[in-house]
Structure 1
Amino acid sequence: MAAQGIEVSSHLAAGDMKQPFKLYHNIFSICSLQVRFCVSLGNLIGSSFPNLEFEEHEIDIYHSGQLDEQFLCHVNPKGQVPALVNESVLGTPLTDSMDITFYLAELYPSLCPTAHTPTIVKMVKSLHSISFLALSFTKPHHREYIYNLEEPLKAILAKPDLSAEYRRALEWKLQFHKSTQSPQVTQESTDTAIAESKIVLEEVDMILSKWGTEGNWLFGATPTSLDAHVIVFIARLRETGNENIIPGSVSLYADTVMAMPEWKKLMNGKPTSYSVYNTSF
């Protein structure tokens, strides 16, 4: 599958991986988990590129790690995870989880087999059109947390000794938060996200009934990018009390995958949600 606007460089096509990919993530970020699970499932089948290596760097987004100058100025100006970096191959970092997913399909072709590429691309896009923030931050004090993310930004901006580059990055991040993130955590947004999730899961159910009868995965015997995204999404829905919108067959499929060593290694006994892990949050 050709990644959406992302091309494999001639350096990578030659198979000469001189540097590992750096994957910036957080263990409670749904998009980070989806990307990391893609890598894990890709490794089940393997890559045609020798010496392919991913070096994980955890960003503590719940204690302002995403506002670090190096990360904000040189990795992702949006101050979000995941982000994929490899200067010798990518040039500029990939900072959108869908772009990273589509790029990983270049490294691991089994993640998006040609016969199912249109469906996988469509469904991944449909999933990511849903506000994960609206689904995840539903309690009043959790929404207040999102609103108050402006405060650490303002505190750093109040310091007189910032570099001009860092100050510009913080100012941009502050406006991005106000215009893009805060508006997502309302009851109306949550209701919309739940309704959209139900529609997407019904489509997943149809895919499973058509293709998934010959194996443990959505398209049969081999896992794809869509499996990685759907399984993490289902885990988050369960943790936020929305298991009632998950079709029975999709829930059973998820149970099967979540019993596998790849999922257990990814999660390491933790939930996908920080608020479930840290009950005082």
Structure 2
Amino acid sequence: MSRASRLWKKVRQSSRNDGLCLYVYPFSIQCIVVQFTVALALRRKSRASRDLGHLRYRLVNLEKNENLQEWYLLDINPLGRVPTLTGKALPSPLTDCLSVVYWVCEQCPALLPESHRTEISRLLTQLHENFEGYSSPNPAVEDLLVNHDITPTHRQALEYKRECQRKQREVVANNVSDGNSMTKETTAFLDEIVVQLDKHGKGTIWIYGDVGPTVLDAHVVAFVARLTDISLEDLVPPELRAYAATIMALPEWREVMKGRPTVWDPLLEPVDELPN
């Protein structure tokens, strides 16, 4: 059995005995997307499963590299990523954002309406590829590997994480070399959202109009907020700035963000002390 298979087997065995738990970091764009998707699902309580209402959250402080600790890599997610969803209701942990998002949509099908399913799925895939381009490898992996005090199993898990980061760097480098720059991809994605909003919005606050909030709304609003927070708001068309501002004034966004920006600010309280 390969190293990766052994790690995944251990995670499946150790994380299925608990209730549903979502491991998050408040300044991860992927975590924000998932939490806002859940919030929009609970907005329609009569159409959402009870599991969503009982979902627990656990902080994984990336500032302290908790995602690289032995317990997280061996018992929760060998990839060392957030968000991750675990629980006995799942056949195995969901260890990437898109998988968690689709699980939420299964609990509240209205978020992924059949009439727009193909279109939404394509746009989500496109945006998540963009997310990968904006992420960067964690140098702390190498720092931990030179530590002679770590256990053999922790070392093995870190080596696996390092290999995953290497492959991610190659994918990003290949995309850039093909001329698919992150800026071009971002602009193309946002321009297409404007087209969908103009076509289906019909004067409502949601991309697909009277259909109501969808998982795509959760993604687009979070992405626009992040671009604004990293001073790339010029990439966002005016129509989408107004659209996002309207939705960010809703209680569901305020409940998720609690007035925080989408990126860490030294003026904020320490991550461990932030309200959840």
Normalised to the residue count of structure 1, the TM-score between the two structures is 0.79
> 1:163 deviation in Å?
3.7
- Given residue 203 of structure 1, which amino acid in structure 2 is its aligned partner? E
Select between 155-164 and 122-131 the one with higher mean Cα deviation: 155-164
Select between 108-117 and 209-218 the one with higher mean Cα deviation: 209-218
Is the aligned partner of 1:108 residue 2:108? yes
Equivalence for 1:210: 199
Equivalence for 2:31: 32
Secondary structure, aligned partner of 2:27: coil
**Take 1:191 and 1:61, find their aligned partners in 2: how far apart are those partners?**
29
Equivalence for 1:237: 227
Q: 1:132 to 1:171 in 2, by over 3 A?
A: closer
Cα-to-partner distance string for 1:162-217 (whole Å, 9 max, x where unaligned): 443322101111222234259859xx699811111100001100110111124211
- Given residue 96 of structure 1, which amino acid in structure 2 is its aligned partner? D
Equivalence for 1:194: 183
Equivalence for 1:64: 65
Q: 1:48 to 1:36 in 2, by over 3 A?
A: closer
**Take 2:19 and 2:36, find their aligned partners in 1: how far apart are those partners?**
18
Select between 170-179 and 242-251 the one with higher mean Cα deviation: 170-179
**Take 1:19 and 1:183, find their aligned partners in 2: how far apart are those partners?**
35
Count of aligned pairs:
247
Cα-to-partner distance string for 1:142-177 (whole Å, 9 max, x where unaligned): xxxx56x33x33443344454433221011112222
Equivalence for 1:126: 126
Q: Which residue of the other structure, out of 247, 250, 253, is the alignment partner of 1:257?
A: 247
Cα-to-partner distance string for 1:111-159 (whole Å, 9 max, x where unaligned): 111111111111111111114553x7xxxxxxxxx56x33x33443344
CA contact (8 A) 1:131 1:193 kept: no
**Take 1:182 and 1:30, find their aligned partners in 2: how far apart are those partners?**
22
Equivalence for 2:213: 223
Secondary structure, aligned partner of 1:84: strand
1:19-98 superposed matches below 5 A: 20-46=19-45, 47-52=47-52, 53-86=54-87, 88-98=88-98
**Take 1:58 and 1:201, find their aligned partners in 2: how far apart are those partners?**
31
* RMSD, aligned α-carbons: 2.7
**Take 2:114 and 2:18, find their aligned partners in 1: how far apart are those partners?**
28
**Take 2:71 and 2:91, find their aligned partners in 1: how far apart are those partners?**
16
Normalised to the residue count of structure 2, the TM-score between the two structures is 0.81
Q: 1:118 to 1:182 in 2, by over 3 A?
A: closer
Task: In structure 2, list runs of 5 or more residues that go unmatched.
Answer: 1-16, 269-276
Select between 249-258 and 176-185 the one with higher mean Cα deviation: 176-185
**Take 1:98 and 1:133, find their aligned partners in 2: how far apart are those partners?**
15
CA contact (8 A) 1:131 1:184 kept: no
Identical aligned pairs, as a percentage?
Answer: 30
Task: In structure 1, list runs of 5 or more residues that go unmatched.
Answer: 1-17, 137-145
**Take 2:148 and 2:183, find their aligned partners in 1: how far apart are those partners?**
44
